[in-house]
Chain A
């Protein structure tokens, strides 16, 4: 089957920045769950935003950036309006910032639905409430009427997920979608995302700092460091990652029942900028 997404040698430089935030990132995505982990500031969200074409002022170069039949490098914005939010969706990292602060959460979900599907207001409201319920929000009728500053961190994340679920995308980029959820609700939400991959055959990119989640939930993982993909491997082999940054990352994870000694930290080295093949 053709890949959902094909990215070759993507580099991104923010306007005025001295150095690119992303360099030579290549990967393809099929109807699977691809995890992206890596250092804070390594460019994970930037890659996601570039795919969604949300970076208007940054300088973007790539050999290829293809989403199904859409050439993301050259497609006019008119075309992107048709694609973004409908065929590809991103769950943003800062839910409360991404929501409109002066509109009720439920109203925003309902309106997002109505931009994609022609229906009455009451139908949209019913769909939005059903979605809040599906993401395991207790008391969805009450939460529908709350403003973004009135919902908890984890409720905000689930509002974002509910918004995405109302559309019928082929590609979902989830940027830290479950970091504010307790473990039980987190598993329930992951099951929903999993269902989209299995039943609807979407491609899912899961940006996460949660190594346990990525190891168990994803099919493959990219590990990013300083704007580059330094290692790519099957998720179940995550613990055998070889790149020195990856090794350092795995070692820094606290464990239940651990020693309480200071956690190992990275002694970052310039040579880490080389991807694994170049290390040896």
Chain B
């Protein structure tokens, strides 16, 4: 089990500062949520922490190690990411089998065929879909392939960017149950972005609320129903979500 420690993470694109000194810790084995305004920088935090970009300042540690200093192969086995936008993250001319097998091969896993089949079953897809291409799948099926690709490498830490927003609630339930089971069995640590506070409430122990590239407040799950938020934007977001669930 590995904790995540993010300390004064900042990034700018040209003259625009997108993250301002973002700091928070995720305990080993915890599920930590990131919620907030569209465009506030949630995906950018995940992209920085997984070194998809390295033009940021600050430090990110996973377990004992600074992510900047981890060799690529080790980083791959430690952290996997499920992207918000599964189409963009799957190569259009690679079959699903190729997409899933690549990581297994590079990281020297044995029993690859059995692992591929199990990964498909875990996310509720027929094993035959291994031979399809991304454009032959529905939006939610692609998202499940992206989840399978991350899980198959058995990383310690998973960054999940809106992992279930493209799924109907029945498939979402299966994926969330799977994530909870893996967390219990294998001690995965999750950092999960979501716009759905019901999902955050179901999955996360704590969560951070973001606006304009800053963390506004870090709250316990109970703060959603218990009125525990103190910052104006945090209160507003929680109230709007409660209202939305009752009847938009």
List residues of chain A with CB under 8 Å of any chain B CB. 14, 37-41, 44-45, 93-94, 96-97, 137-138, 142, 149-156, 158, 175-176, 179-187, 190, 209, 211-213, 215-217, 248-249, 252-258, 260, 262-266
Asked whether A253 lies within 8 Å of B201 as measured between CB atoms, the reply is no
Asked whether B87 lies within 8 Å of A97 as measured between CB atoms, the reply is yes
Contacts of B197 in A (CB 8 A): 183, 256
A-B pair count, CB < 8 Å, reads 162
A182–B166 Cα distance when bound, in Å, is 15
Asked whether A40 lies within 8 Å of B141 as measured between CB atoms, the reply is yes
Question: Given A40-B140, A183-B195, A190-B248, A263 and B177 touching (CB < 8 A)?
Answer: yes
Asked whether B224 lies within 8 Å of A256 as measured between CB atoms, the reply is yes
Asked whether B248 lies within 8 Å of A152 as measured between CB atoms, the reply is no
Contacts of A217 in B (CB 8 A): 248
A262–B140 Cα distance when bound, in Å, is 21
Asked whether B169 lies within 8 Å of A183 as measured between CB atoms, the reply is no
Query: Per a CB cutoff under 8 Å, which of B162, B170, B241 touches A39?
Result: B170
Closest to A46 in B: B138
Interface SS of chain B: helix, strand, loop or mixed?
helix
A38–B172 Cα distance when bound, in Å, is 12
A264–B171 Cα distance when bound, in Å, is 10
Asked whether A41 lies within 8 Å of B138 as measured between CB atoms, the reply is yes
B88: Cβ under 8 A from any A Cβ: yes
Asked whether B240 lies within 8 Å of A263 as measured between CB atoms, the reply is no
A39–B166 Cα distance when bound, in Å, is 11
Question: Given A94-B85, A97-B87, A254-B199, A212 and B168 touching (CB < 8 A)?
Answer: no
10 nearest CB pairs, A to B: A40-B140, A154-B38, A263-B173, A216-B248, A252-B173, A97-B87, A254-B202, A257-B225, A41-B138, A153-B84
Asked whether B201 lies within 8 Å of A40 as measured between CB atoms, the reply is no
Asked whether A40 lies within 8 Å of B224 as measured between CB atoms, the reply is no
Asked whether A256 lies within 8 Å of B166 as measured between CB atoms, the reply is no
Asked whether B38 lies within 8 Å of A253 as measured between CB atoms, the reply is no
Say how far B202's CB is from chain A's closest CB, in angstroms.
4
Asked whether A256 lies within 8 Å of B162 as measured between CB atoms, the reply is no
A40–B169 Cα distance when bound, in Å, is 9
Question: Given A93-B166, A182-B195, A190-B248, A45 and B39 touching (CB < 8 A)?
Answer: no
Closest to A217 in B: B248
Q: How many residues of B contact A (CB 8 A)?
A: 54
Cβ contacts A to B, 22 pairs, < 8 Å = A41-B140, A45-B139, A94-B87, A96-B85, A153-B85, A156-B85, A179-B162, A190-B248, A212-B244, A212-B245, A216-B247, A252-B169, A254-B172, A254-B173, A255-B201, A255-B245, A256-B198, A256-B225, A256-B242, A263-B173, A265-B173, A266-B170
Question: Given A182-B237, A212-B244, A152 and B166 touching (CB < 8 A)?
Answer: no
Asked whether A252 lies within 8 Å of B248 as measured between CB atoms, the reply is no
B167: Cβ under 8 A from any A Cβ: yes
Asked whether B139 lies within 8 Å of A180 as measured between CB atoms, the reply is no
Say how far A106's CB is from chain B's closest CB, in angstroms.
15
Asked whether B168 lies within 8 Å of A39 as measured between CB atoms, the reply is yes
Contacts of A44 in B (CB 8 A): 138
Contacts of A175 in B (CB 8 A): 139
Say how far B232's CB is from chain A's closest CB, in angstroms.
13
B3: Cβ under 8 A from any A Cβ: no
B136: Cβ under 8 A from any A Cβ: yes
B117: Cβ under 8 A from any A Cβ: no
Asked whether A258 lies within 8 Å of B201 as measured between CB atoms, the reply is yes
Query: Per a CB cutoff under 8 Å, which of A183, A215, A249 touches B237?
Result: A183
Closest to A175 in B: B139
Closest to B165 in A: A179
Contacts of B172 in A (CB 8 A): 209, 252, 254, 263
A150–B13 Cα distance when bound, in Å, is 9
Question: Given A40-B140, A152-B39, A253 and B198 touching (CB < 8 A)?
Answer: yes
B176: Cβ under 8 A from any A Cβ: yes
B37: Cβ under 8 A from any A Cβ: yes
Question: Given A96-B85, A252-B173, A257-B201, 5 other A-B contacts at CB below 8 A?
Answer: A41-B138, A137-B39, A152-B43, A155-B38, A180-B162
Asked whether A183 lies within 8 Å of B240 as measured between CB atoms, the reply is yes
Asked whether B198 lies within 8 Å of A96 as measured between CB atoms, the reply is no
Say how far A152's CB is from chain B's closest CB, in angstroms.
5
Contacts of A156 in B (CB 8 A): 85
Contacts of B88 in A (CB 8 A): 94, 96-97, 149
Contacts of B39 in A (CB 8 A): 137-138, 151-152, 154-155
Question: Given A180-B165, A182-B37, A262-B180, A254 and B198 touching (CB < 8 A)?
Answer: yes
